[in-house]
Each structure stands twice: as structure tokens, then as C-alpha cells.
Amino acid sequence: AGMAGAFLMEIRRGTQSALLVIRYAAAELPSAPVEVSVCADSLEVRSGGSCDAAALPAGVSLAPSSCRGLQRHHSRSKEFLPKVVFTLRESLKPNKNYIVYCQSCGDIVVKDRKFLRVLPLPSENWSDLVEEWCCHPDPFARRTLYPQHGDCFVGDTFFLLNSGNESHVPESPKSKENTRVICKRCKTMLGETVSSGTIKYYVTEVIIQPAEGSFSPTPRSQFVQSMVAQCLLELSSSKSTFRFTIKGDNGKTYILIWLLNSDTLLVESLASSSSRSDFTLFGDVLKPSSGPVGTWNAVKVLYQPCIQCRNKELAILWENDMGVHPLKFPSETCLELLLILGLSTTSLPPSLRCMNSFQV
């Protein structure tokens, strides 16, 4: 049985520590004193004559002697769940055939394309640094990196393909609006044309899989969270960059994100009535088979919304800071991400939702 007070545990792999929060709805607050017992593999909450217990998931154990206090206690923990970081650059292999699907509806966007070369692109702001590298005029000026038919060039949030004779691509774009590449079936924006023969597909809008595989749909919010988290993890690891601006294809800044950590394991009881009535941080990732306690790998970020002229001065400071990395997505996806972040924040206990002026 689930606990009358749902619990949320935030475990840090690096420090082997955990923050445990017992959650009660206002109407369910116990009148008698509450006693919390922490065992190696379970939690118990006693109040009056009642006692509720919840078992921790397999692979997570606590050292009870390390727990102190009721309001907040840090405990040593061990977890053995694998941490898998997927990156597009590692998954795409040369001399293999791939199919590109629309993530929203599953329609085939690019049929059976064989990649002879899969090459990483430099960061979008790489040209800003050339003057610091070169003591003579920019040797790369007016040069562009466009893929041939067998090429796939992979950027931070997109990949470039030669358009070939794809029917969904505008033949002669005359304006910014005409460069948008739209799914024929569901009319979702998938990317944009960057030259007469090159298309930029955003990683949040398409799924690229080996031709011998089959398309399996993923809930939209889960997919967006996963792909954005992958971008943050890869860039923080390769470039030691932890601050990001989320920009739309219209050039506007939508969100400022500060990556706190990527080694978080969240454990939450799912059977409690109070946690079911609220939006949970993991949204459509939850499945009935998850049982009374669920575990999730998580990326913890601080963020500031920038829509409707909010945080305008801070956004200008970040945009002019070379230590801040810009990430570009379709404007609609930026709004989706902002909604996901907001719902994630409200799912946390009130004391954990803010840090300084940022939301968590």
C-alpha cells in the first residue's frame, strides 16, 4: 500500500546523498505528531495509531544512521540503475540506411537514405571566435558547409541533409516563412531550408531510425524533454557550458536555462491520492505498470521565462556572454518546453520550486 503522505526523494549519484520530502495535502495533514523511520529499503510514517510504509525500488538503499531531523535530512544512498546518455552523433553510423519520421504523426519524411559520411558541425557561433584564432583575415569567410547526397552533418539541435528530390521542401523560398519545412500529414514544422539543396531538421521534430527498424511513437512531452536534456548533457560535457539561451526560429529568446546537475535520480511514490490529483513531473512517462514507487533519471535546471518581455535585461546580458551557449528550436517547441518546465516546477514541493530568482 502507498503512504498516506506521498514522498519524493532526490538522489545525487555523485555525492551519494538524498533529499527526502514527505508530502501531505492540506486536508490530510495529521493532527498527531509524525514520526518518520528510515530503513535500508523502506520508509515508515507513524502518526497516532496509524502506520504507513513504502518500499524503495530495487537498486536504491539508504544508510539509516546518516539521516538527521524531520524537516530535511540528507542520507547516503546507493543506486545501480544504468545511466544512458544517447547522442545523435554516436547513434548514426556511415554506410547504413536510415528513415526520417515526423515525431508528431509518424509520417515518413525521408525514405531509405544511406549515409556515407556522418560529420559533426562546429557550434553555431564558431565564426565569432575565428578572429581570436587567426592573425590574418578570416580564411573561412563566405564559405558554407553544405552536405552532399550521402552526407549527414550533425549540429547541436539539428542535422543537415541534402534535399535531393524531397517533395515537402519548398523549391524556391522567397521569404523566411517560405523556408519552413512542413510535415505533409500533420502540418508540423520539421525544419527549414538553408540553401537550394540543403534542409535543416530539428532533433525535437523528427525521429531518425535505421531502415530495418520500425517506427514506435513516443509521447510528445516525453520526447521533447529527452532531446533537450540530451543537448544540455552533451554540450555541458564537451564544452563545459552550463548556461543556455533557448531561441526560436524567429530569433526571439524564450528561456534562459542554467544546468545544475545531470546525476539526479528521482524516486516518487505513485499510489498516493494526493500525488495522483496533481500533474506529476514526469507527465506521460508514467505507466500503470510502474507500481507504487517510480524512479526516473533527471536533469535538474534553473530557468527564467523570457516571453512577454520578462527578464529582458538578463536575457541581453546572457546573449552577450560568450560563456552562454545558444540553442535554437522551432518557436512552437520553445513554448512547449516552457510549458513542460512550468508544470515540472509546480509538481515539486513548494520549498523546492525556486532558487534565488530562478525557478527549478
Look at residues 74, 71, 51, 75 and name the one whose alpha carbon lies nearest to residue 61. Answer: 75
Look at residues 25, 163, 153, 18 and name the one whose alpha carbon lies nearest to residue 94. Answer: 153
What is the per-residue pLDDT for 53? 79
Cell of 112: 531509405
Q: Read off the pTM.
A: 0.82
Task: Label residue 266 by pLDDT band (50, 70, 90).
Answer: confident
What is the per-residue pLDDT for 299? 93
Cell of 66: 546518516
| pLDDT tens-place string over residues 268-290 | 876 443 444 444 444 444 443 45
**If you average pLDDT over residues 288-307, what whole number do you get?**
81
Q: Are 249 and 331 contacting, i.e. CB atoms less than 8 angstroms apart?
A: yes
Residue 40, helix vs strand vs coil? coil
What is the per-residue pLDDT for 44? 82
What is the per-residue pLDDT for 56? 80
Residue 14's alpha-carbon distances to 76, 262, 307, in angstroms, are 11, 10, 35
Mean pLDDT for the chain overall: 81
| pLDDT tens-place string over residues 14-42 | 888 888 887 776 666 667 777 888 888 88
Higher pLDDT, 277 or 220: 220
What is the per-residue pLDDT for 42? 84
| pLDDT tens-place string over residues 99-150 | 999 999 999 999 999 999 999 988 766 666 666 777 777 666 666 778 998 9
What percent of the chain stands above pLDDT 70? 76
What is the per-residue pLDDT for 282? 45
Encode burial over 68-102: b for 16+ CB neighbours within 10 A, e otherwise: eeeeebebebebeeeeeeeebeeebeeeeebbbbb
DSSP structure string for 92-141: --TTEEEEEEETTT--EEEEEEEESEEEEPPPTTGGGGHHHH-SSS-TTT
Q: Are 359 and 340 contacting, i.e. CB atoms less than 8 angstroms apart?
A: no
What is the per-residue pLDDT for 71? 47
Which phi-psi region, left, alpha or beta, contains residue 196 (left: φ > 0; alpha: ψ -120 to 50)? alpha
